[in-house]
Amino acid sequence: MLTHETRLESFILTDKPKRRAEILSALTKPMTARQLAYKLGYSDLNAVRPRLTELMRDNKVKAVDKVKDDLTGRTVAIYERVS
């Protein structure tokens, strides 16, 4: 399937360790995925969401609260670094 191929290509091309390091460095205070993406200069939230999931799995980031997203009106998680 074409969309599966394009997702796979994108996954392979992303420097995941570098992106995770970027996210950890930028996460200087609790923020949402959108806030974090915008701080890093990404307009696509998929630039940070998968890496946040990985960082949570590795206990380097945790979800600490939730807030209503201004753009979508949906409830989203607020993330912070684990000490």
Structure-token match 């209503």, residue found: 68
CATH class assigned to 16-81:
mainly alpha
What is the full DSSP assignment across 24-47? HHH-SS-B-HHHHHHHTT-S-GGG
Question: Would you give per-residue pLDDT tens digits along the chain (83 residues)?
Answer: 656 565 545 555 668 899 999 999 999 999 999 999 999 999 999 899 999 999 999 999 999 999 999 999 999 999 999 98
Nearest Cα to Cα of residue 18 among 41, 39, 48 = 48
pLDDT at 5: 61
Beta strands in the chain (DSSP E): 61-68, 75-81
Please name the amino acid found at residue 30.
Answer: P
For residue 14, the model assigns a pLDDT of 67
Q: Are 77 and 43 in contact (CB under 8 A)?
A: no
Report the pLDDT value the prediction gives residue 15, as an integer from 0 to 100. Answer: 83
Whether this model's pTM surpasses 0.85: no
Where in the chain are the domains?
A: 16-81
